[in-house]
Structure 1
Amino acid sequence: MDRLTLQASLSFVLLIAAYLCLYYVIGKRTRFSRYSITVLFVASGTPLAIMLALDSQREQMDANIGLGMSFLLTWAITGLIFLLSLILGFIRLKRR
């Protein structure tokens, strides 16, 4: 397993974990919240998936700025979702 595959797998696992944390922190688990979190997950994972697919087709061994930016975007979204779920969890605990 090469380094890019390991980083991509870890990025997607952390993104899934972030959205699962957000889903379980939200108080009302309605059908709308389930669908909206699913759509947001797909929308935030798509740039990395597309850039990984395009990078696998490339034959050149040079730096791919777009791939790095898509990793950075995915990590930033993951961090923001974890932070949002942490804040919502603290607010929920404070109200109890």
Structure 2
Amino acid sequence: MPDQLAEQYPEAAPYIQQAVAEHGEEWVLEHYDEQLYPLGRIMAMPDKDELPFYDDDEHDTMTEDEKVEMYQAWAAYRENLRTGTKPEE
């Protein structure tokens, strides 16, 4: 991982490096928004397109609206689990 990313995101770099070592770069790019980016609630995390192995021609990122929709769905899912209800109830 380039030093620049480690300098800009010193807390996040080890998590990203560990995920790459365990799963590979393609897995990290495919699962970044669901598995790693949520760490941004407790530390500064780079956007997916800031990763050194991200290639605009091969990969895509979620729009801000898509991220909001995904996180809202997760919140509704957690609330349903907490209350033991279904979305229609």
**TM-score, structure 2 normalization:** 0.31
Whose radius of gyration is greater, 1 or 2? 1
**TM-score, structure 1 normalization:** 0.29
